[in-house]
Structure 1
Amino acid sequence: MTTRTLAVVSAGLAVPSSTRLLADRLTAATVDALGERGVTVTVEVVELREHARDLADNLVTGFPSAALRASVDTVVGADGLISVTPIFSASYSGLFKTFFDVLEKDVLTGKPALIAATAGTARHSLALEHALRPLFAYLRATVAPTAVFAASEDWAGGEAGSPALTSRVRRAAGELADLVAGRPPAPPADPFADPATSFEDLLRGSGG
């Protein structure tokens, strides 16, 4: 058995949230699909609501807090990525976009990714294709063909979700599993590879 790391980014604001519920369903299905391919999985979840203030500070200062840096390292160092956002005003949430805005250029290049979203009505489902998919294409991630959208009616029968949602979740999870299983494991993150402050700035600050 080989081992891979899966990072899960959830931008839900409420506790509990349908966004986190969908993220958990996708994660469980992906872990099962990878297990069928002889791959064991370590899952690390990043709840963006816990980093709301840190993300705002990062935008204005250019420096992440220790907690935010740890979550960024989790995403950058993972072998695969599941990203789920609520849809606000026909697009991803500002919190979701801000997290990906603070990532360094090209850190998601080639990373297998699955995109998903939640909203109150299925009318917002096209946001996956006109907002999320272009975002991850710009970030140069390798996005699974199937994106998963869950509206309020998909949870009408409880947390198990509708049969149609279950089918989409399984299909998307299988696609992500194929991408992750076929990719070499990500190298461990080097904490000294990209220092927050350049040596030039350090010299200027010390009067050198």
Structure 2
Amino acid sequence: MTALRIVAVNAGLSEPSSTRLLIDRMVGAVTEQMGEGRVEVEIVDLRDLAVDLGQAMTVGFASGRARAALDAVEGADALIVATPVFNASYSGLFKMFFDLVDIDAMAGKPVVIGATGGSPRHSMVLDHALRPLFAYLRAVVLPTGVYAASADWAGADGDTTSLNDRIARAAGELVSLLTPRRGAAVTDVTVDGRQLSSASAVTDGRRQAVEAAGIANFAKLLGTA
């Protein structure tokens, strides 16, 4: 079986970085649930690409390491992304990177979203900033987003167990979307005029269901539903 390619985009700027820690935890949960040898993961640290991304924005196209990172994201089977919260939204570096991504390459791509911040009050960044961004890119945003406040890591006033639960649930949703139902017979079926195996049809159906849920959620955010 060909391994699925997952690219994780880390927009953390500090070293060490709580955002990178969240990315590592989310990646670990997905690879554990997928099983050994079934997924290949590449992590893109945007802090290392800051100069290249700035140059790409000024000249209108990306080259070098920035181009390689964009190619990895555009060619991935799924994405895991996380950003620190700046002024109630994602970081400028995060926005700069995804401004350069080919929107057509993002269509239908599953994305797990995450964010980090000092206070639990910033958790709405997931629904007010990240979901609309990836909905515009026509990606399939998984229902569970993962926000980690400073207290979640300290294990004092926060709830580390709840953070682990959110990570596991988000990972499970991605794994369910990417893999066919266990024990399903492999037969040819037709979906929207295309010949697919039943396993592919299950994945296609789940993708459509999650995409429909994302569109409905976005409509609520806009106040149109």
TM-score, normalised to structure 2, is: 0.77
Q: Pick the aligned partner of 1:76 from 74, 86, 100.
A: 74
Per the alignment, residue 197 of structure 1 pairs with: none
Q: Pick the aligned partner of 1:101 from 93, 99, 112.
A: 99
Per the alignment, residue 180 of structure 1 pairs with: 178
Deviations 1:60-84 (A, max 9, x none): 1012121111111111111110000
AA of the residue aligned to 1:4:
L
Three-state SS of the structure 1 residue aligned to 2:105 is coil
More helix by share: 2
Per the alignment, residue 111 of structure 2 pairs with: 113
Q: Within 2, Cα distance between the matches of 1:114 and 1:39?
A: 21
AA of the residue aligned to 1:14:
S
- Confirm or deny: 8 A CA contact 1:120 1:151 kept in the other structure: yes
Per the alignment, residue 157 of structure 1 pairs with: 155
Per the alignment, residue 61 of structure 1 pairs with: 59
- Confirm or deny: 8 A CA contact 2:74 2:102 kept in the other structure: no
- Confirm or deny: 8 A CA contact 1:39 1:181 kept in the other structure: no
Three-state SS of the structure 2 residue aligned to 1:9 is strand
Give the 5 Å matches for 1:119-134: 119-134=117-132
RCO (CA 8 Å, sep 6+): is it higher in 1 or 2? 1
Q: Within 2, Cα distance between the matches of 1:2 and 1:66?
A: 28
Deviations 1:105-160 (A, max 9, x none): 321100011000000000100010000000000001111100000000000039xx
Q: Within 2, Cα distance between the matches of 1:145 and 1:8?
A: 18
Shift of 1:33: 1.5
Identity of aligned residues (%): 53
Q: Which structure 1 segments of 5+ residues have no match?
A: 185-208
RMSD after superposition: 1.9
